[in-house]
Amino acid sequence: MRKRSELAPIRRGNVGVASVADQRFSPAVDPQRGAPPQPPKGIVSPMETWDAIRARRNVRAYEDRPIPAEHLERILEAAWRTPSSLNEQPWAFLLCTDREKLRQLAETWRHAHHVAGSAATVVLIAPIPADQDTRDWIFYDMGQATISMMLAAADLGIGSSHAALDDQALARRMFGLPEDRFCVGLVAFGYPVDRPLQPIARPNRRPLDTRSSTANDGDARSPRTMLLLEMAERTKATVLKGPSTQGRRHR
């Protein structure tokens, strides 16, 4: 049975990203769990990133209240810190909080209605790629920036949601984008209307069983998950266990 304290809503200070330089977000003392464990000397205190990872979900209905400026800055800083292929940082992050603009942004894609009611939405802008390969890496990099922002937001109790963007012409007009730029997508932010963010015990995902994995288990795992686990098994068998691999190790 999961302890109540493990399912406490995420709020600022509860799941703080604590670092030596930033004491404002050190984890608060939880009356049920007591003081958070202290890290060994010389090691930055543990970040409870795991709670933010488990609590993030797509939130598409938001309270009508603004996100404090310092929290928006933190979300944008998370984007800025994101790694990118060759460190090219192929992005600009445009923060939009103007209600009318948010409503217009919601019109750029049929599954972007929620953007209209968000407290803030980040528009992901990138150079128009010269080829498919460059495009693929841009989307990979932007995906990373997206999840970084979402986790930073979750850490502050702020909900988020993806949205694609179809009507490039409208977005171009709205923000006066240069011809060589396009919008990759939108990330909407706001406080959830339904319930605060809290770690989700059973997320809506295909089953994943990490206990053991052979192709012969005969259980109902998804083909994709099974494939990954099988590959791990095979690799282990070939590289670490197989007698025939001796001569191949140092290739």
**Interface residues with ligand FMN (CB under 6 A)?**
57-58, 60, 109, 111-112, 161-164
Burial class, 15, CB count within 10 angstroms (exposed 0-12 / middle 13-18 / buried 19+): buried
Q: Which is nearer to ligand FMN, 27 or 199 (CB)?
A: 199
CA-to-CA distance for 54 and 38, rounded, in angstroms? 23
List, in sequence order, every residue forming a beta bridge with 93; answer none if it has no partner.
124
CB of 151 to ligand FMN, least distance (A): 12
The CA-based angle 133-173-66, given to 5 degrees, is: 95
Distances (CA, A) of 205 to 42, 60, 139, 164: 38, 19, 23, 21
Q: Residue 102: name the closest of 191, 163, 179 by CA.
A: 163
Q: Count CA atoms closer than 13 A to 115's CA, side-chain side.
A: 27
Nearest to ligand FMN of 58, 214 (CB atom):
58
Identity of the residue, 140 or 237, whose beta carbon is nearer to ligand FMN in the bound complex: 140
| Contact of 225 with 208, CB cutoff 8 Å | yes
CB of 70 to ligand FMN, least distance (A): 25
Cβ closest to ligand FMN, residue 25 vs residue 160: 160
Q: How far is the CB of 107 from ligand FMN (least distance, A)?
A: 13
Q: How far is the CB of 243 from ligand FMN (least distance, A)?
A: 44
Alpha-carbon span 48 to 56, nearest angstrom: 13
DSSP bridge partners of 186? 123, 163
Find out whether 145 and 85 touch, Cβ atoms under 8 Å.
no
Whichever of 127 and 143 has its CB closer to ligand FMN, that residue is 143
Q: What length is written for the chain?
A: 251
- Shortest distance, position 155 Cβ to ligand FMN, whole Å: 16
Q: Contact at 8 Å (CB) between 202 and 7? A: no
- Shortest reach from residue 75's CB to ligand FMN, in Å: 17
The smaller minimum CB distance to ligand FMN, of residues 15 and 184, is found at 184
Least distance (Å) between residue 166 CB and ligand FMN = 9
Whether 35 contacts 29, CB under 8 Å: yes
Nearer to ligand FMN, 112 or 119 (CB): 112
